Structure 1
């Protein structure tokens, strides 16, 4: 297609049949590969990454380069919406109830892999130091995973700023995105408290765009801005649409108000989720596949180092499960003999929720692959070999985590849910009364 005259409009032409069939096959295999990988590996994103490898530059280069660039942009929007949805759907009341425990788990899950990675890459592999860089247990897991991802999003902005290190102070280059992210995290709940009144679909989009712009200009991660935008929107009251066509008592009015007051989650599900689930999100994972040097993955040195790194990454996340028995020990939450008699044999040991928490924290690939892509393409500190080793480890962790969690849930899911300490917990009474009001 070419612009007509001075570029005032774009000429419309039918796409050629080869391009049409190529795109149809691309999206078809995206759906099929995600379904197969989810059934076999419990990780549908692996199938979509493989399709990206085949259709992209690394293997087949079937899609035109302009299409790959377009899908990369659409995929990044999909990632932004995924993270926005995470902030939108988080249960802040349950997070606050388990904040200390969740923070402890998140810090353990962040610092342990960093320490093990530094030890392996610096001491073991010889790389330079900068290259080394609604049950209660379910609530702790989600909160810890969110805090863990927040740390990852801050790292995205820190790593992307390292490209300017030659002309700036190292402390400021690293500290600026951390400071900006911290200020945004502190000011966000205050803004939600004092300025949250009437909201709708337009407001939700405006808040997201505003936070993306603030994060970008503050040199924080736009993904972190998307998460904070979701938390702000989730704390705003939805606009009430009530129609009183006929006289009725107050109780009827209240019932109508409750029925006709859509939450932001409802708005997201109705207007955004389908586009995000079937178009934007499937574009993100193959765009990661476009950027993986597939041929370089298959050397003996890279494979064994990738497996060794995988083991350390898994161990670094499994230790998060230790917070559960330690918490029981410190808080003296162990059941007395009469309680033990009421528990089923599978529910007695606290290693079950501990194992569930540890395995569920094993890394998925979205943020990890994004971070190493930024480290490789935008900084001089990550070599190609270290990059492909990290790709191996992240992909293997993405398979190991879901498979382990699925196995534990199939065998011990009811035991975890029925556990008196780590099973289903009641909603905060104040929160419940607010929702009923």
Structure 2
């Protein structure tokens, strides 16, 4: 089909035959149908899309031509960039700052343990230390596409658990891409710049972009806000209020950061996340002028009428009889006061020009229905199914996959609540019941009186503690104990451990580069045949990518069932399965 088009001035149009139409139609429809079905059942529809890619692509029936597969891979990677960008838009910075140390600990564990366990390949396959390190580099990454898809399907994207998982997976992939640069140059001389450059560029993006936002973007925005407040009727204010302007600015920022990161030598996925997080920061943390809220007047008036309708039930109407007339006679002042209360800072979800609203309007449908399914199907294209089922490869692949799953499962220990705290509290309560005899003091009665007051003050909170323990399920909203209760189960550490287990695009990329550069291939092996090392690593990546999302889906389904059961038992006040980890 591509022959004779190099020197042509245009591409001749040919109507596709019916077989091509049916194959591509069934491919696209089944990608969405199986995703919807598995998301409803297990919150892991992406596994069905991977299987469809295997069946329709080169590993299976090969119904899709190679040129079509290449196009699907390219479009799917655009979907991955937009998927990571959406994850950046859902970032909550207060939660990110509060859990940064925990995210770093989870990420470092997910990097170090798989690399250390990969040296078992020296005994398992007779691998060299360099080959074992390359395999560990491929398996230390975490699939960002899988992570964001699972969080979105389970509704945990903006929760504390989702923030920890997202930032840890991002750190893992940045380290994995640094190792990719190292592995791609293993055939020649390894210079320090090969290792240092990706690290420095990633740190530069993580440090310089926030500094630019703080010391350049925010002052410019504030000065522009003052100008717009003084000149309400200028064309500039009208242009900046349009959703089309926000769409253009957001898209330009995303394209600029992705392009700059690629040419600088770091991950374009990392840049996409930073672009989304920057827009989320600008929406939620930077003050905005009132004219940015003019489009909310209708919503505010509807909300105001709803509030008056709801507030009229518990209060007698005679006390506030003149209020509706005053509001009808002067509508603008109440609207302005309501608007100016919401100006600083503007909630990110309340404006039609915020990043989340722009993404939902312009990108959501195309990403969810076409680009994202193409990405997970392209993962299925790269799985060499026909070569993976030889006996000596299967059992080695299964053992290595279990080791690599264990290497990521230990990440959940950082969220595990060891019983030491409850044992300490029990011991402390038992010690509080023991009454020690008072000792005579040389300073006389005043000290004894002080000692007795101290003893009474130490014993004073005990009735309140017993009352609080008796009324733990009925804490009022005005009580100081309005924080979410601690989780009573292992579901938070289990969810983050299973989500970190999923590998994917970065793992396949690193292993493919290592194979093409001859790192996995022993000397004298055939060029057209995959090495056993590559097949074993592929087994581990595939099984971890399947088991991880499937386990997260089963856990989330169980959590939903427990929450519904506790809500029925406690009249809607029993949502403490995930506790503080479900709060944003």
Q: Same fold (TM over 0.5)?
A: yes
Pick the structure with more helix per residue.
1
What 5-or-longer segments of structure 1 have no aligned partner? Answer: 428-437
- Residue 362 of structure 2 corresponds to 271
SS in 1 for 2:501: coil
- Residue 382 of structure 1 corresponds to 520
Q: 1:221 deviation in Å? A: 1.8
- Quick one: which of 257, 262, 273 aligns to 1:211? 257
Cα 1:210–1:251, aligned 2, differ >3 Å: closer, same or farther?
same
Matched, 1:176 2:197: yes
Q: Deviations over 1:25-49 (max 9, x none)?
A: 2212322343455567653222222
- Quick one: which of 251, 259, 273 aligns to 2:337? 251
Q: 1:315 deviation in Å? A: 1.6
- Residue 493 of structure 2 corresponds to 354
Q: Which moved more, 1:290-299 or 1:331-340?
A: 331-340
| 8 Å contact from structure 2 (residues 184, 514) kept in 1 | no
- Residue 304 of structure 2 corresponds to none
- Residue 151 of structure 2 corresponds to none
SS in 2 for 1:292: coil
TM-score by length of 1: 0.82
- Residue 407 of structure 2 corresponds to 316
- Residue 158 of structure 1 corresponds to 179
- Residue 393 of structure 1 corresponds to 540
- Residue 131 of structure 1 corresponds to 131
Q: Distance in 2 between matches of 1:342 and 1:312?
A: 46
SS in 2 for 1:200: helix
Cα 1:391–1:59, aligned 2, differ >3 Å: closer, same or farther?
same
- Residue 54 of structure 1 corresponds to 55
Q: For the aligned residues, what is the CA RMSD?
A: 3.8
Matched, 1:195 2:214: no
Q: 1:334 deviation in Å? A: 6.4
Q: Deviations over 1:148-196 (max 9, x none)?
A: 3332234225314533344443332122112211111111211222225
- Residue 368 of structure 1 corresponds to 507
Q: 1:124 deviation in Å? A: 3.2
- Quick one: which of 259, 280, 291 aligns to 2:382? 291
Q: 1:396 deviation in Å? A: 2.1
Matched, 1:418 2:439: no
Q: 1:247 deviation in Å? A: 7.0
Q: Distance in 1 between matches of 2:501 and 2:512?
A: 20
TM-score by length of 2: 0.63
Q: 1:205 deviation in Å? A: 0.9
Q: Deviations over 1:50-97 (max 9, x none)?
A: 222222222322112221111111111111111111222122211111
Matched, 1:403 2:449: no
| 8 Å contact from structure 1 (residues 116, 316) kept in 2 | yes
Cα 1:80–1:121, aligned 2, differ >3 Å: closer, same or farther?
same
Larger Rg: 2
| 8 Å contact from structure 2 (residues 257, 271) kept in 1 | yes
Q: Distance in 2 between matches of 1:136 and 1:207?
A: 23
What 5-or-longer segments of structure 2 have no aligned partner? Answer: 137-154, 222-239, 299-329, 430-464, 474-484, 522-530, 567-573
Q: Counterparts in 2 of 1:332-347, with a 5 A limit?
A: none
Q: Distance in 1 between matches of 2:422 and 2:91?
A: 26
